[in-house]
Structure 1
Amino acid sequence: MVHDHLTRPRGGDPGAGLAELDPPAAAVIDGYLDQLAARLPGYAPIDAKVTAELRDDLQDATLARLPRSPDQATAARVAVAEFGDPAMVAESLRPELASRVVRRLGLTLLATGPLVGACWVLALVLSDAAPPWHLLPVLAAPLLLIGAPAVVLTVVSTGRLARWISPSAAAASGTVATVTAAAGDAVLLGGSALLLLAPVGPPSSLLAVAVAASLGRLAFIGLAAGRLLGAQRGLATLTAAR
């Protein structure tokens, strides 16, 4: 049931009906949601929209139990008890949240890869660069041949085909995609630094754009590394449960 909150489309304004509950009942629901949020992994917290949808469902469950309850607060306590222990609900959400993290990473790499690559091609290959500069794309090419399929597999394995692809495959492909992207940027940046220190002139002014693009992607990968490690653990939990 909880998985449905993350995947099914919802209409209307989530949380708009909470005013129908009196303050004690609303406090019970908010307290439950606070406990749930505190037990969710830091690498992938539930966003405000999903939290509002959960609040709506708990409110509906509370209102449905009013005829058999002495007051709204009692009905709310019954509703949250039937929804499940916050720790168990949070645990059930971990794999789905982990899959979302890996998918966002894959989509980001899928979008930035061609842009970063185009910057380097324009700077090194399609310019009047000296021959040593032309070696840098050649050195990075093997990483591209490994990383590009890994990025595609990451996106596919966390999308609509996720039910047919092992979660461990998604975690592994996400790691490979991230490592190869970082390694490719490191090769290009390191090689550029060495050539600039050598008696070889810069290829073109576009080199600065390419360097900035790779540095930006490396910064993103660095920030995403912790979340990716957490997501791997979450997906491993789902794999073990299957």
Structure 2
Amino acid sequence: MADRDLIHSYLSELARRLPAEAVEELADGLEETFQHQLRRGNSPTEAARVAIAEFGRPAQVTAAFAHQSSGRRTAIALLATAPMFACLWATTLITAHAWNWQIAPGAAVAFGATLLTVAATLGIVARSNNPKTARLTGPASITLILLDLGILATLATAAPAVTWAMALAVPASLLRVVLAGRNLPRLFAR
């Protein structure tokens, strides 16, 4: 039964890298490919080898799953829009003279450190070939929503006057909060 040992070893390797439901789907497809190879006249061992070869090395299969995950796609989208948000909020804070606002320095440092952590997390997800890493996008998205709401609340309570830059930054952040919030169920689905 070397054929079943080959397939079992292959699926065991994938099970260490992928969610169980993904491995179940792959197992069904692998079994179909194996049966097809048997019908073509291959020996059971050769049919198993050919079926596994058609599916690709575990690292390739894992990378393909990672690249198609909603977590990775979301991380890339959030990172791609980050420069626009950075420009909008930098302009807003500069034109509103934020350095004169009554904000505790520790709060500003915590905000910045949290924002950098979220950006680093999204960068890791975007570059990872591990589908399990994509799960970090959900908590990172929630944190980003909270950061957006935090800066909006700070703006509402500390800004002395509305500036033209605020008229752009506020709706952009509100839109990101809504879109990121709508995407959360997909990011936490298993």
Q: TM-score range by the shorter chain?
A: 0.5 to 0.7
> How many pairs does the alignment contain?
132
Task: Indicate which of 119, 131, 156 corresponds to 1:148.
Answer: 119
Does the 8 Å CA contact 2:66/2:72 hold for their aligned counterparts? no
Aligned to 1:205: 164
TM-score where L is the length of structure 1: 0.46
Higher share of residues assigned helix: 2
Number of the residue aligned with 2:88: 119
Pairwise CA distance, 1:219: 1.1
1:147 to 1:115, Cα distance in 2 relative to 1, 3 A: same
Contact 1:146 1:180 in 2 (8 A): no
> Which one is further off, 139-148 or 206-215?
139-148
Matched to 2:171, the amino acid is A
Matches within 5 A, 1:127-142: 127=95, 129=97, 131-132=100-101, 138=109, 140-142=111-113
Give the deviation of 1:124 after TM superposition: 0.9
| 1:219 equivalent in structure 2 | 178
2:134 to 158, 164, 170: 170
Q: How has the CA–CA distance of structure 1 residues 223 and 128 changed in structure 2, closer, same or farther, with 3 Å as cutoff?
A: closer
- The gaps in structure 1 that reach 5 residues or longer are 1-39, 41-60, 66-94, 234-242
**Cα distance in 2 between the residues matched to 1:153 and 1:97:** 12
Equivalent residue runs for 1:21-170 within 5 Å: 96=65, 99-125=68-94, 127=95, 129=97, 131-132=100-101, 138=109, 140-157=111-128, 162=129, 165=130, 167-170=131-134
Q: CA 1:191 to 1:121, structure 2 compared with 1: closer, same or farther past 3 Å? A: same
Post-superposition Cα deviations, 1:42-97, rounded to whole Å, max 9, x if no partner, equal xxxxxxxxxxxxxxxxxxx9xxx9xxxxxxxxxxxxxxxxxxxxxxxxxxxxx938
Distance 1:210 1:185 in 2: 10
For 1:137 and 1:168, locate their aligned partners in 2 and report how far apart those are by CA, in whole Å.
Answer: 32
- 1:142 is matched by which residue type in structure 2? A
User: What is the rounded CA distance, in whole Å, between the counterparts of 2:168 and 2:108 in structure 1?
Assistant: 16
**Runs of at least 4 residues of structure 1 off by over 4 A?**
133-139
TM-score with structure 2 length normalisation?
0.58
For the 8 Å contact 2:96–2:161, the answer to whether it is kept is no
User: How far did residue 98 of structure 1 move?
Assistant: 9.2
AA aligned to 1:228 is L
**Residue 237 (structure 1) aligns with:** none
**Aligned residue for 1:33?**
none
Change (3 A) 1:128 1:226: closer
Q: Provide, for residues 151-206 of structure 1, a one-character-per-residue CA deviation record: whole Å limited to 9, x for no partner.
A: 1011112xxxx1xx4x33221x212321221121011111112235xxx223x211
Say if 1:169 and 1:103 are closer, same or farther in 2 by CA, change over 3 A.
Answer: closer
Within the alignment, does 1:190 sit opposite 2:141 as a pair? no
Distance in 2, Cα, partners of 1:109 & 1:98 = 15
Letter in 1 for 2:86: G
Offset, 1:99: 4.6
Query: Over the residues paired in the alignment, what is the CA RMSD in angstroms?
Result: 3.5
Q: Which runs of 5+ in 2 are unaligned?
A: 1-20, 22-35, 40-63
**In 2 relative to 1, CA 111–137 (structure 1 residues): closer, same or farther, beyond 3 Å?**
farther
State the percentage of identical aligned residues: 27
Structure 1 Cα separation of the partners of residues 157 and 68 of structure 2: 39
